[in-house]
Amino acid sequence: MSKEVNYDYLDQRIGALFAEKLGAGHELLHDCGLAAMMTSLMIRAARAGGSITDEETHEILVALQEVFDITGAKALELLNTVATELASGNELMPVLAGLQFVLNDEDKKLVLLLLLRIIAADGKQASAEMAVFSETVDTLGISAEVVHRVFDRYFEETMILDAE
């Protein structure tokens, strides 16, 4: 995540929104607000294709560790908590919409790159998964130019990994 945005504030604000919607007994969601939101979004994309596959679960855990610098145990706990507490995804989109004017283009690209990782994790791309991608693009107000750059970057990165 880029440094232009105050992520400590975002973690607190998103965590407070989740606590408001879910009740005060969810300390992990409160402490990991931004990571919890992204976990919920990744789970939503994975579930859109049916059930969450082992590959998608693994990719979510790896993404949490890489992007949010969360330990493996905490990433697993967050994944399980979000899967249980934010299962419907109804709480997610209003919170995400609130970030439209807060996140910069680099952050929005990262959100989309994480979604693409999950969508591609099991080797199957369901139209329902891409619908979650499109809904996220619309909710965050991401321009077509930024979306094209995300796809270009994603394919460049995956081609490099495939070549190795």
DSSP letters, 24-53, are TT-HHHHHTHHHHHHHHHHHHHHHHTSSPP
pLDDT tens, position by position, for the chain (164 residues)? Answer: 545 666 677 777 777 777 676 665 566 666 778 888 888 888 988 888 788 889 999 999 999 998 888 899 999 998 988 888 766 666 677 778 878 887 888 888 888 988 888 888 887 767 888 898 999 999 999 999 999 998 888 888 777 655 55
Domain ranges of the chain: 7-163
One-letter amino acid at 100 equals Q
Q: Are 48 and 128 in contact (CB under 8 A)?
A: yes
CA–CA dist 104, 142 (Å, integer): 10
CATH classification code of 7-163: 1.10.3680.10
CA–CA dist 160, 164 (Å, integer): 6
Q: Show Cβ contacts of residue 51 under 8 Å, excluding neighbours closer than 6 positions.
A: none
